Amino acid sequence: MNPHLAQLQPYPFEKLRQLFAGVTPNPQFREIKLSIGEPQHATPEFIKQALTAGLGGLANYPTTQGTPALRQAIAAWMGRRYGLDGVNADTEILPVNGSREALFAFAQTVIDPSRGYVPLVVSPNPFYQIYEGAAYLAGAAPRFINTLPENDFALDLDALSEAEWSRVQLMYVCSPGNPTGKVLALDDWKKLFALSDKHGFVIASDECYSELYFEEGKAPLGGLQAAKLLGRGFDRLVMFSSLSKRSNVPGMRSGFVAGDAAILKQFLLYRTYHGAAMSPAVQAASVAAWNDEAHVVDNRRLYAEKFEKVTPVVASALKTGMPDASFYLWAKTPIADTEFARRLLAEYNVVVLPGSFLAREANGANPGAGFVRIALVAPLAECLEAADRIRQFVSKL
């Protein structure tokens, strides 16, 4: 067996299952699950119709590169969303089966373990666990940069030594961030690009939450957009985007990567062998989704309403506040986060995710410890009820 498999930790939701073993939720309350970042808003009907209409494509093998229509729809969306006119749909865009599988596979393409040292893969901490697993299974070692409330959850690029940066081959960034919702500013990107230029590492920009923000006309900055604003190309930079959160289609597993054409050429080669072509029916539905923005605006409105009404209730009990973007509240707990989650389930039947499950100990601390992640994915009434139960629970501690 691959020895690197032994380095993998259980996924956060397996840890949650183990944490809740033996807990009997209070039967006076129905379950409200706010632990997993799975959109629960309705999938737009026109996407379902496009998926059904595309079923004729099941008679054909799809190409790994996807159809020209899909790549062109993505390129047009990037022009509208980021002002990135002129993105080459043939060489700078590649459809993928959701950002998760692409984020994992990307490390297998980029990491070169033959240079005489153990390569490093850097990510924020807390983080999306795929980054860590991708690093280990590519033969690299993860390095974590703690994002802390006292630093407004910013990415402290001075946390790594010069010697460590010299071994970095890949850096994952997530903006808007999971779980904090922090968005990288242009100055952050400028510093990150300077480090990449100096040390030659690749930047993987995870932007799967990019369309979940709270004020129309004030969309989060993207990595490729930052590169253009700074007058540079896409060298050593690839963004990862997805329809899952944007269009409420997590089951479709549809997204794309875009950026450095030379890297994507090699990624396409890897994926050709990996067998990662997207279903023709899903491609047809994806074209429809990327070409429409009205349903995305409606989706944002639903989240904005939830955050406006739910955040003050949670904030009356736990230290939290509006994130820059995304659909999570990152809330400080008065007791250990694992105990908080276990007792909240037992006493009020609300499921939240302990922050320590989303982070690793680095520099002597687990930056997720003492926090819980609350995903405001349920309908407004359920989120408000859960917030009120959390308030009641904390008042009795």
**Contact (Cβ atoms closer than 8 angstroms) between residue 84 and residue 74:** no
What does the DSSP 8-state code read for residue 365? B
Contact by Cβ (8 Å): 86, 258: no
- The pairing of strands 350-351 and 353-354 is unpaired
Distance CA 267, CA 389 (A): 47
Quick one: tokens of 141?
Answer: 């070692």
Q: How far apart are CA 165 and CA 12, in angstroms?
A: 28
- Same CATH topology for 10-42+295-395 and 45-291: the answer is no
* Residue-wise pLDDT tens digits, 181-224: 999 999 999 999 999 999 999 999 999 999 999 999 999 999 99
| CA quadruple 160, 371, 188, 229: dihedral, nearest 10 | 140
Pairing of strands 237-242, 371-375: unpaired
The span from the CA of 177 to the CA of 324, in Å, is 9
Q: Which of 19, 7, 24, 21 is nearest to 348 (CA)?
A: 24
CA–CA dist 347, 29 (Å, integer): 9
CATH class of 10-42+295-395: alpha beta
Query: C-alpha angle 5/6/12, rounded to 5°?
Result: 85
Res. 21 pLDDT band, cuts 50 70 90: very high
pLDDT score at 268: 97
The confidence score (pLDDT) of residue 292 equals 98
pLDDT at 320: 98
CA–CA separation, 339 and 397 (whole Å): 11
Contacts (Cβ under 8 Å, ≥6 apart) of 68: 89, 90
For residue 158, the 8-state DSSP code is G
Both structure tokens of 22: 């033996």
Q: To the nearest whole number, what is the mean pLDDT of the chain?
A: 97
Give the pLDDT of residue 40. Answer: 93
CATH fold of 45-291 reads Aspartate Aminotransferase; domain 2 (3.40.640)
| Mean local confidence (pLDDT), 73-83 | 98
pLDDT tens, position by position, 294-308: 999 999 999 999 999
pLDDT tens per residue across span 234-283:
999 999 999 999 999 999 999 999 999 999 999 999 999 998 999 999 99
Domain ranges of the chain: 10-42+295-395, 45-291
Q: pLDDT tens across 38-61, in order?
A: 999 999 999 999 999 999 999 999
Kindly indicate the confidence band of residue 317, based on its pLDDT and cuts at 50, 70 and 90.
very high
Of 323, 324, 319, 322, the closest CA to residue 311 belongs to 322
pLDDT at 260: 98
Residue 249's pLDDT is 97
Helix residue ranges per DSSP H, the chain:
12-19, 45-53, 68-82, 99-110, 130-137, 162-165, 186-199, 223-229, 243-247, 261-274, 280-290, 294-315, 337-348, 380-395
Mean pLDDT of 165-176: 98
**Letter string b/e over residues 29-54, b meaning 16 or more CB atoms within 10 A of that residue's CB:** eeebbbbebebebebbeebeebbeeb
Contact present, 280 and 57 (Cβ < 8 Å): yes
Omega cis (within 30) before 176: yes
DSSP code string of 42-103: PPPHHHHHHHHHGGGGGGSPPPTT--HHHHHHHHHHHHHHH--TT--TTTSEEEES-HHHHH
